Amino acid sequence: MNFLYGLLQTVLRRFTVFVLFVLPATPLLAAKDSVPDWVKAAAAQQLPKYSSDTNAVVLLNDTTYIVSPDGTAVERVRRVVKILRPQGRDEGLVFVPFDNDRKVHSLHVWSISPDGHEFALSDKEIVEFGYPGQGNLYNDMRVKAARPSGRDPGGVVAYEYERSERPYIAETTWFFQGDIPHLNQTFTLELPAGYTYSTVWAHHASIKEADLENRRWRWEMKETPAIDLDRVLHRPSELALAGRMTIRYAPAGKPVVADGWKSIGMWYDGLSRDRLAATPEIAAKANELAAGKTDFYDKTEAIAEFVQKQVRYFVIEMGIGGYQPHFAADIYRNRYGDCKDKATLLSSMLSTVGVHAALLMVDDHRGVIDPEAPSIVGNHMVTAIEIPKGYESKKLRSVVTAKTGRRYLVFDPTWEKTPFGQFEHELQGSYGVLMEGADSQVIALPVLSPELNTVRRTANMRLDADGTLKGSVVERRFGDISDRRRALYTHGDAKEQSDYIDHALEQDFPTFKVSEMKVENAEALNKDLTNSYTLDVERYGRSMGQLLMVRPRILGSEAPAVDHERRTVPIDLRQTMQAIDEYNIELPAGYAVDELPEAVKLDLGFASYESSSQVKDNVLHYTRTYTVREVTLPPEKYSDLQKLSGVIATDEQSRAVFKKQ
C-alpha cells in the first residue's frame, strides 16, 4: 500500500544510491547575491553543541500548506541543511517527489561552500528521474533531484519548492523529527472561509498553534533532537518514535468528524466499496474451492490460500491507485495485485460463500499506527474475516474483537509463508484500522502464543575416543520462524540451500560434514518444516590427559545480542517464539562423569530459559527450552535482557567433563 510515507521512504533510499552513482556532481555557478536572505540568516545561526557523531543538522524546515475553496491544496517548503561530517554529505542531496496528482510548480536550489562561496542552481541543472522500482512494482512517482556542490563539512545546502497535493485526501501530516537534529521548524496552515480543522499528535506532546489571522495558523518548534538508531540493538522503527502532527480539514457543512478513525473508514469505504463487487467468475471459483466444506475454517482456508498462493504480488500504483484497490474482477482475471488488491479479492470471494470480511489497514513497522492519533499513516492492507457468532476453533489464532462485539480472524494474503489462522510477527502487538464504514475503528492486534512459532531440534550422536562426533539431526520449524527456510527450499537452488545450512553450522563448528539431507513440508504451511541430515564433526570432544571435555549443547545459538550502552528507546524482540532442544551423545567406553554443568532456570516474565545435563547408560542427555512471550519491552527492561543473554551464552558454552577410568 502507498499511504504517504511508506513508498516515499523507499523511493528516497533508492534515489540516494541512484543519484550518488549515476548523477555527476552539479557544478553550481557562482552569482552575486544569489543566495536568498532567509538562507543566509539560517546559515548564520549559532549551533547548539551536538555530539561528535552528528552528521548534519536541519537549520530551517519551513512548510506552508494552503487549501483552496475547492479542497485542492498546495505545499510550499523551505529547507536549509548544514553538513557537519563527511558522512553527512547525503543530507545535502535534493529530492522532491511528484506524480500525476502532485505537480511540482517550482524548485530552486542554492548552496554555500565551507569557504563561504555562494552558488545557485539553474533550472536546466535540476534533473528528473522516474522511480527506479523493483521487479514487482510499477509506480508513476517521479523525482526532481540535484546533487549540488559544496556538500562538505561546514557547507550549507538550501532549497525551496511549491507542489500541489493530492486532491482526494483532506489530511496532511507534518513529520518533524528524523535521523538528524532540526534547529528551527514551522508549519503554517491556510484555510479558506468556512473550513474547519483538527490536529492529532503522535509521539510528541501537542503544541499550541499561533493564530496569524486571515485564517492562518502556525506551529513552531526549536531544537528537535534526532532519532538515532544506527547502533541500537533490537531497535524499533524510527517512525514508531518520531514525532508527527496530522491535520484533518473539512469544508463548510462537513465538519471534521470527532472520531477520526470512523471518518477515515468512511472515506476509505467510498474508495473501495464498489471494488469489492463479485462477478459470476469470482463466485464460481469461490464455490468450487469451498465445495463440500461446511466448517467455517475449512472453507475460508481454501479460499484464503488460493488468494495467498495463486494471485501473484505485483504493484501497479498510479495517482489514487496508491490508496484505492483495483476492481476484484480485474484482480481475479489478471491473477496479480498488491496488498490492498489481494485483501479486496479475498473479501469479495468470501462474500459469495456467505462470509463477511473487511479491509484492515496496518503498518509492518510495529508502533507506527498510534491509537491516539487517527491518520492514514500506514503502509499495508490485510483482511479481517468475520467469525460466525458462537464459532470456536483452536485453529483460529489471530483473532481480534471489535467494539461492536464482532470477532474477526486477521489474515494477510500477501505473506506467502504465513499459515492461515495466524499472521506475521511484524504486525503483532501493534494496531490496525478496521475499515467497516460507520463502524470503522482502530483495533489492537494480538501477540500470538510462543507455541505457534517454534523450532525443535533433536540429535542422536556418537562421540568416538578421538573426539569425532557423528550422528543424525532433525530440525522442525513452524510459524514465521520457518518462513526464510521455506522460501529457500521452495525457490532456492541446491547451492543456495547448501550454503545456507553451512553458514548456520559454521556458528557452532570449525569443521564439519553434512550428508543425507532431507526436507519435508516446505509448502505445507500448517505442518512443521522438517529438515533432517547426518552430521560429522571432527575434534568435537577435547582431551586433556585423562579428561575429556564435551559441550552438551550441540548446535543452535539463542542468546540475544546485547551491549553495554545506556538504553533510552523501547526494545523490539521481533517475535514471540519457543526453541526446544534435545540432544543425546553416546560417550566412548571407559569414561565416567567428573563434572556436569549446573541446571539453569530463569524466568523474567517476557522470556524464560531452562536447561539440564544428565548422564545415563553412558549417554549424555541435554535438554533446554527458550521462550519469548512479548515483542516489545520498555527500555528499563534492558538490564533483564542483558542478564538473559549472559545466562544463555554461558550455558551454551558450558562443558561436561569426563575422566578416563
Q: pLDDT over 70 for what percent of the chain?
A: 93
Q: Are residues 267 and 249 in the same domain?
A: no
What is the pLDDT at residue 254?
75
**pLDDT tens digits for range 513-537:** 999 999 999 999 999 999 999 999 9
- Residue 134 pLDDT greater than 70, yes or no: no
- Residue 199 pLDDT greater than 90, yes or no: yes
Listed in sequence order, the residues at least 6 apart from 124 whose beta carbon sits closer than 8 Å to its beta carbon are: none
What is the pLDDT at residue 6?
47
31 pLDDT band, cuts 50/70/90, is very low
- Neighbouring CB atoms inside 10 A of 654's CB total 18
Is 638:632 a contact under the CB 8 Å cutoff?
Answer: no
Q: Are residues 381 and 519 in the same domain?
A: no
Task: Please state the rounded mean pLDDT for residues 45-61.
Answer: 95
Listed in sequence order, the residues at least 6 apart from 218 whose beta carbon sits closer than 8 Å to its beta carbon are: 186, 187, 188, 189, 209, 210, 212
Q: Are residues 219 and 95 in the same domain?
A: yes
Q: What is the mean pLDDT of the chain?
A: 92
User: d(Cα 200, Cα 615) in Å, to the nearest integer?
Assistant: 63
Q: Are residues 249 and 265 in the same domain?
A: no
User: d(Cα 153, Cα 88) in Å, to the nearest integer?
Assistant: 8
547 pLDDT band, cuts 50/70/90, is very high
Using a 10 angstrom Cβ sphere, with 0-12 exposed, 13-18 middle and 19 or more buried, the burial of residue 598 is exposed
Q: Sign (positive/negative) of CA torsion 65, 88, 571, 428?
A: positive
* Cα R_g (the chain), whole angstroms: 29
User: d(Cα 209, Cα 191) in Å, to the nearest integer?
Assistant: 14
Q: Are residues 279 and 194 in the same domain?
A: no
What is the pLDDT at residue 258?
64
- Neighbouring CB atoms inside 10 A of 37's CB total 8
- Residue 22 pLDDT greater than 60, yes or no: no
Q: Which of 156, 73, 166 is nearest to 115 (CA)?
A: 156
Is 644:652 a contact under the CB 8 Å cutoff?
Answer: no
- Residue 304 pLDDT greater than 70, yes or no: yes
| CATH number where 563 lies | 2.60.120.1130
Task: Please state the rounded mean pLDDT for residues 227-246.
Answer: 95
Last residue of a domain, one of 227, 256, 285: 256
| CATH number where 387 lies | 3.10.620.30
- Residue 511 pLDDT greater than 90, yes or no: yes
454 pLDDT band, cuts 50/70/90, is very high
**pLDDT tens digits for range 248-264:** 999 987 766 667 899 99
The count of domains in the chain is 3
Q: Are residues 57 and 189 in the same domain?
A: yes
What is the pLDDT at residue 429?
96
Q: Are residues 480 and 496 in the same domain?
A: yes
**pLDDT tens digits for range 577-627:** 999 999 999 999 999 999 999 999 999 999 999 999 999 999 999 999 999
- Residue 182 pLDDT greater than 90, yes or no: yes
Q: Sign (positive/negative) of CA torsion 171, 177, 178, 180?
A: positive
Q: Are residues 418 and 480 in the same domain?
A: no
99 pLDDT band, cuts 50/70/90, is confident
The DSSP result for 262-291, as a single string, is HHHHHHHHHHHGGGGPPPHHHHHHHHHHHT
Q: Are residues 291 and 359 in the same domain?
A: yes
Last residue of a domain, one of 256, 291, 307: 256
Last residue of a domain, one of 256, 277, 306: 256
486 pLDDT band, cuts 50/70/90, is very high
Q: Are residues 220 and 298 in the same domain?
A: no
What is the pLDDT at residue 255?
64
238 pLDDT band, cuts 50/70/90, is very high
Is 504:533 a contact under the CB 8 Å cutoff?
Answer: no
Write out the three cell numbers for 590.
Answer: 571407559
- Neighbouring CB atoms inside 10 A of 190's CB total 19
What is the pLDDT at residue 332?
97
| CATH number where 51 lies | 2.60.40.3140
Task: Please state the rounded mean pLDDT for residues 296-301.
Answer: 97
Give the start-end residues of each E strand in 84-209. Answer: 94-98, 104-112, 118-120, 127-130, 137-139, 142-146, 156-164, 171-175, 182-190, 196-202
Residue 69 CB-half CA count within 13 A? 2
* Full residue range of the structural domain in which residue 237 is found: 5-256
User: d(Cα 112, Cα 153) in Å, to the nearest integer?
Assistant: 11
Task: Please state the rounded mean pLDDT for residues 494-504.
Answer: 92
Q: Are residues 508 and 588 in the same domain?
A: yes
What is the pLDDT at residue 661?
87
327 pLDDT band, cuts 50/70/90, is very high
What is the pLDDT at residue 402?
97
Q: Are residues 406 and 375 in the same domain?
A: yes
What is the pLDDT at residue 5?
46
23 pLDDT band, cuts 50/70/90, is low
Strands 336-337 and 312-313: parallel
What is the pLDDT at residue 25?
53
Q: Which of 440, 423, 457 is nearest to 576 (CA)?
A: 423
